[in-house]
Structure 1
């Protein structure tokens, strides 16, 4: 763009963001300063609730209706705070654009992606119709690497993968060649290989187009090579800032040091060689029927799990890894007899392949499941004490209310929560606390096997570490067996003593954790490991 790298195109001074609530004013951002220079990448890092997203939403005029921003945010000498909606619309979407963590919630499901990408071109670019914008839309789809753009331009969002939808959001953001792209957790919900592709794309586009990027994230592994400078936020304040390498090599603030040390560590020892097998599947198959009917023609048969065999021993953790759609979660549910399947399934030496609901009922307490999103699995109408003890009403109906309350107190203490909070509701807790509640609900029944389905993927890295430590402590205390399903390989390595790698419903490789991570044999496994070990190689690979 011909500008000096020492110039500042966005200068934020004394920014405050507050929200009016029933409990009074909540200050989300407190007197923060940021600078963004042409063509650089600035990372804003911190845990959930630190104020990093609200800082950028404020300057974009996108705060919730009960939100208020004060202070200064100057873009090329234009003050954005307090700017009229009409004038602000000339800046956002053209000069400053934003992409979000979950593109499916940002894209309109009723409109084709071509029409949605054309909207900023029509609104800001002076074009009169989608037909006039079509050549530029195709150009943008090619730019962001969407395959077969002539066909995909007429696709709906649900017809694209998560990575393709994020590419569409990037195309929309780039439509009018912005000065600044704000990327708010754009890769958190993506598989590690897709994450690497999206980050490589952003670095390449930045180099080609000369735009600045403000990258909001809680993943410091991404930040180290992607960002030029870093601002660390905690409780609405900037606690440290500096050049990326300096901040990583010599962090000054205790909070920054804590974030840098938050990677899950340690290695799980395997169970004894003679440990009994608790849960076993032989040639397990799960097939879904899609479509079909009188007018729809023949249904499509999708084999989500294809003849998989697995044996989980007492005290063992088997990590199941693979990209979205590989069949990981489907396999876990099939082994718990929560989905119909073919093949043989044995639990505790007993064949449960054809067991009906009544036969399975007494076994349910011994086979528990913890989900990725605890908020979605916890009833908003029940106190957490009621949530945790709900299973006891089914499996131990003779217990008195007093005994159930005593068991809830024990379970909450075991997962590191204050039992005094058992009369609160799920929405009153943080994401990490809600996941502890979900774990307490599982362990109160004293299970033998727990299937953990992406239990840490929605959590901050520091909270992930706490949950991993908790799960390992509980496993040791109760001799639990885990099936740990995840696409986060750092967490899988810390949790598992055996790994199964899945792709398109099949096992492509399996073995002890150290063997899979240190010496993978299959090309697909090597690709997964390479993306996880150095997800940021894209920075050096991007054209200059």
Structure 2
């Protein structure tokens, strides 16, 4: 097989940021190449420098950043090009899509207007011709009913549809290189599979190169021809993807490849008592309506579900966004109004009001997906962790609360000396440990974990999974584990519930469902998450 022509060459690239604490060197003299029509992956944990490498190449660094070295695109150094010269390349020959399209799409403009603008800017087409090209692009990325969607605003589209729009915008001017920075991290596995398949098909059709930035090694193995592994601003390993995966040479690469959560959760004893039980649980939301709008629409988010969580058990709840899994978890904790019966330790809490639930809150805890959003930036970690003790154990002295905070931090693997710091001073994995400590300090019996690892690197995910399993074993906890990451669910749960559109479509012992899913929807979920043969259309 002939070596493709090199279209992008990065040589001795260094990226520095001036901060109040001095100069931070984010990228330390790396070299990489991208061939015409190939897919190159840049992988590494958060903070490895992979995104800043491509941001520097596109001259999109923050104002306190600077880049040196060279980024050669077909004989032109992008780092020294004039603004007009750069505009001929950026957005036309080299384009970029990001992890969260809502931060890149203007909420005040229709999808059609946002597609038409770059076409007119770079290709000098009239309004009618540019509109026709925009319509073609929406069809190319398989947006349903493209004529109607031209008039839609970003908030009216799903996450997967918005990402397709971003891809359409990136393809508007027939680029040589498409840079995709974590484009599927926030998406469900089935939508992720659709987006990756779409990118592979478009690459084959249009002949463009793709630079794929990610921390998901499963995607890299399925999608990339070659891979660069970055750590602390340096490339520590590179090569053909299959060779790097089958025979890694650097210890860091070996660590990343072994970071998949492993092990299996044993089920509780058959006679273990049921702690939390829901019968015919139903949650209905009213949408719209009003004096002029008429009767509201009814959305049945949870549709007559039965569930029983035993002491020491972990029930995994999986499904796409909008399936009702998070709504079910909140309804069982009485954080949402619902119909049906909900019992905790043989006590009917279906109609319990806020006052009735208060003494039970310490035993029914919730850990969120994004700890940064649920940790007050104005409170120290010690104050955050002990806040619940002020309500549930008001007789404790300040010294006793501080001692309990130290115990809780030690239990989740953090140094108690950190308790006087603020949330922004911690990494994502550390913040998740803080959120877990806040829940565990109250010594709960049931913990609902709502996507607690989805925003974390694989190696950090593995640490959190192992921590949660240890805490469960030490304290005989019961978990409801809500996630769309099936690898994590398999390692955590002994029983699995698969939800779709508010209903349970399949349930049973975790290994039985993973090994032999009966329902077509479950089979689709498993294939999207586990099938290593998908997306390799570029090879």
TM-score (norm 2): 0.99
- Matched residues in 2 for 1:84 and 1:348: separation? 70
After TM superposition, the structure 1 = structure 2 runs for residues 354-369 of structure 1, keeping only pairs within 5 Å, are: 354-369=351-366
1:393: which partner in 2?
390
What does the per-residue CA deviation read over 1:443-477, in whole Å, with 9 as the maximum and x for residues that have no partner?
00000000000000000011000000000000000
1:191: which partner in 2?
188
After TM superposition, the structure 1 = structure 2 runs for residues 302-451 of structure 1, keeping only pairs within 5 Å, are: 302-451=299-448
Unaligned runs of at least 5 residues, structure 1: none
- Matched residues in 1 for 2:16 and 2:121: separation? 31
1:522: which partner in 2?
519
After TM superposition, the structure 1 = structure 2 runs for residues 88-237 of structure 1, keeping only pairs within 5 Å, are: 88-129=86-127, 131-237=128-234
Shift, 1:53, TM fit = 0.3
1:39: which partner in 2?
37
- Matched residues in 2 for 1:430 and 1:482: separation? 25
Q: In structure 1, which of residues 62, 66, 69 is the aligned counterpart of residue 67 of structure 2?
A: 69
What does the per-residue CA deviation read over 1:256-311, in whole Å, with 9 as the maximum and x for residues that have no partner?
00000010000000000100000000000001111111122211111100000100
8 Å CA contact 2:13–2:28 kept in 1: the answer is yes
Shift, 1:84, TM fit = 2.6
Shift, 1:532, TM fit = 1.1
What does the per-residue CA deviation read over 1:76-98, in whole Å, with 9 as the maximum and x for residues that have no partner?
01111132322211111100000
Shift, 1:6, TM fit = 3.4
Q: Are 1:496 and 2:493 matched, yes or no?
A: yes
8 Å CA contact 1:99–1:184 kept in 2: the answer is yes
Q: Give secondary structure in 2 for the equivalent of 1:172.
A: helix
1:23: which partner in 2?
21
1:506: which partner in 2?
503
2:236: which partner in 1?
239
Shift, 1:344, TM fit = 0.4
- Matched residues in 2 for 1:326 and 1:43: separation? 32
1:56: which partner in 2?
54
Q: Give secondary structure in 2 for the equivalent of 1:73.
A: strand
- Matched residues in 2 for 1:86 and 1:419: separation? 54
- Matched residues in 1 for 2:81 and 2:380: separation? 44
- The 1:536/1:85 distance shift into structure 2, 3 A limit, reads farther
1:301: which partner in 2?
298
Shift, 1:390, TM fit = 0.5
Unaligned runs of at least 5 residues, structure 2: none
What does the per-residue CA deviation read over 1:332-352, in whole Å, with 9 as the maximum and x for residues that have no partner?
000000000000000011000
Equivalenced residues, count: 539
Task: Provide runs of 4+ in structure 1 moved above 4 Å.
Answer: none
Shift, 1:153, TM fit = 1.2
- Matched residues in 1 for 2:468 and 2:249: separation? 31
Deviates more, 1:116-125 or 1:80-89: 80-89
Q: Give secondary structure in 2 for the equivalent of 1:538.
A: coil
Q: Give secondary structure in 2 for the equivalent of 1:90.
A: helix
What does the per-residue CA deviation read over 1:193-246, in whole Å, with 9 as the maximum and x for residues that have no partner?
111111000000001100000000001111112111100000011011111111
TM-score (norm 1): 0.98
- Matched residues in 2 for 1:306 and 1:372: separation? 24
- Matched residues in 2 for 1:454 and 1:105: separation? 21
Q: Give secondary structure in 2 for the equivalent of 1:43.
A: strand
Shift, 1:538, TM fit = 2.5
Shift, 1:5, TM fit = 3.9
